[in-house]
Amino acid sequence: MNFTAYWNQVTPENGGKWGSVEGQRNVMSWADLDAAYNLAKANGFPFRMHTLVWGNQQPAWIESLPPAEQLAEIQQWFAAVAARYPDIDFIDVVNEPLHDPPRGATNGNYIEALGGDGPSGWEWVLRSFRMARQYFPHAKLGINEYSVTNNTADMQRYIGIIQLLQAEGLIDTVGVQGHAFSWPRRAFPSTSRSSTSTVPRTRSSSRTTRGSSPCSGSTRPSAGSRSGATGPAIGARPRAPTSFSTTARSDRLWSGCRTT
């Protein structure tokens, strides 16, 4: 498929997960992330980094480290991504904070290294974004979550996190992910929708807003995939809505969106 004919944003599916890049401590595997980033830059497309902090697909080796050492490793992870990809446009800093935080065994187990719940209940999220603003001063920083539009309590919690981030001028985009399976299976084996809204910043900035919001690129995986990001685009529906993407398989490299 000619990716660039249908899509105008690139998001790595699994290549940007910390567990994919540094499954073995201090051994970095950048190939998939390099390919996605280079495709975006070669075609003038926005590149969305997915994701820095999540409670899934994290390095197993970090779970047994003491919190201070975990924090140092998280900082090294942020710094390594920033150094290798200096022109990232968008970053999903924290993915699924409500449903999949990095708490406990098999989930990264480093939430306390980032401050745990803290007085606000979400100190680990706030610290993640503070670090991201430090390491990625020119990127738009975002958060992503699923199952909030169908759950009032979760939506209120999500809004609460966003408001905390807004108060410190730390967030630029908000992702809400979901799935739809209503189109013909012959043409679209599986489809996903995600939307991203820009968030007004609460502190002055000299950065230029890059036009209207592209799609998040961070949608819930289909059955059998636990990636947290869309799979590759496989086609384009006529007059497709803004922030529309499709996914058919979980073993390919990129996702994309066509904005209108």
pLDDT per residue as tens digits for the range 99-142 = 999 999 999 999 999 999 999 999 999 999 999 999 999 999 99
Please check whether residue 36 lies inside any domain of the structure.
yes
The two structure tokens encoding residue 198: 């820009």
- The enclosing domain of 235 has a CATH number of 3.20.20.80
Residue 106, domain extent? 3-203+210-255
User: ω into residue 152 within 30 of 0, thus cis?
Assistant: no
Please check whether residue 90 lies inside any domain of the structure.
yes
Distance CA 196, CA 52 (A): 17
Please check whether residue 53 lies inside any domain of the structure.
yes
DSSP 32-67: HHHHHHHHHHHHT--BEEEEEE-SSS--GGGGGS-H
Please check whether residue 260 lies inside any domain of the structure.
no
Please check whether residue 61 lies inside any domain of the structure.
yes
- Could you give the number of structural domains in the chain? 1
Q: Which residues contact 180 (CB under 8 A, 6 or more apart)?
A: 191, 192, 193
Q: Identify which has the larger pLDDT, 253 or 148.
A: 148
Please check whether residue 238 lies inside any domain of the structure.
yes
Distance CA 111, CA 142 (A): 19
Q: Identify which has the larger pLDDT, 259 or 126.
A: 126
Q: Identify which has the larger pLDDT, 260 or 38.
A: 38
Encode pLDDT of 46-85 as tens digits: 999 999 999 999 999 999 999 999 999 999 999 999 999 9
Please check whether residue 105 lies inside any domain of the structure.
yes
Please check whether residue 157 lies inside any domain of the structure.
yes
